Amino acid sequence: MSGAPDENPAGNNQRVLLDCCGGLNNVDYSKMDLTPMEGLLKHIDFGDASFCIAVIAIIFNPFFWNVVARWEHRTRTLSRLFGGPYLACYCLGFIIILLNVYRSHSMTVAMKAQARWEVMDRTDVFYAGVALMVLGTVLVVGSFLALGFVGTFLGDYFGILMDEKVTGFPFNIIENPMYWGSTANYLGLALIGASPVGLVLTAIVAVSYKVAIRFEGPFTEQIYQERSQRRKLE
């Protein structure tokens, strides 16, 4: 191919580096059209109290349930306190639900407190938001039905392990459907409300979930690997 290194040892050994469009160093960023981003940001008051509360709620939720669940896995304190792992898991699940309800409330308050963006205030954007909320709801509900209450709310950390990995809908079309379904719901809500701050808050939700997945995934795999090793020794 043209531009590929010559791999013939008898020929020229000099590598020809592909440099499409002169490389990123030659891009004139001053000529980029940042008008849409400027229009978005000018409608957002990052110092608004409701925005700050919403951001704290978004970041706190996955941090809380990961810390508490790992602590329970290590010490079994909640299981002893509630007389068994199932009741302890139900109680933590109930707390997580309340925290998520408050997160949704705080995001709604922040969206209503700040300006709408006329660029988003269109019929097609509205219906795109509705479609995202329908999709998100299907993913969240489908995930809950597939996992059950205990599987959804970190039952693995309480020692309540599933017999096998769930591979049915919606896990057969997307990983972590509960998280991404929830993110789709918030994005849909932001589009329906023509809310620039809603877009920013949704991005923060996505990032917080992405970080949570990086911690939860390997740890959950470790839990099941430990069970497999115990079974081999029995």
Average pLDDT, the chain: 86
Go through 57-77 and write b for each residue having 16 or more CB atoms within 10 A of its CB, e for each that does not. bbbebbeebbebbeebbeeee
Question: How confident is the model over 43-101, as pLDDT tens digits?
Answer: 788 899 999 999 999 999 999 999 999 999 999 999 999 999 999 999 999 999 999 99
Residue ranges covered by each domain of the chain = 47-233
pLDDT at 221: 85
Percent of the chain scored above 70 by pLDDT? 82
- CB-count burial class (<10 Å; 0-12, 13-18, 19+) for 120: buried
Residue type, 150: V
Question: How confident is the model over 148-175, as pLDDT tens digits?
Answer: 999 999 999 999 998 888 888 999 999 9
Is 216 a known ligand-binding residue?
A: yes
Residue entry with tokens 């309800």? 101
Sign of the dihedral through C-alpha 137, 140, 145, 148: negative
SS3 helix, strand, coil % of the chain, rounded to 5?
70, 0, 30
Is 135 a known ligand-binding residue?
A: yes
Give, as one character, the DSSP assignment of residue 132: H
Is 47 a known ligand-binding residue?
A: no
Q: Is 84 left (phi over 0), alpha (psi -120 to 50) or beta?
A: left
**170 preceded by a cis bond (ω within 30 of 0):** yes
Is 136 a known ligand-binding residue?
A: yes
Q: Which residues contact 212 (CB under 8 A, 6 or more apart)?
A: 62, 66, 179
Is 84 a known ligand-binding residue?
A: no
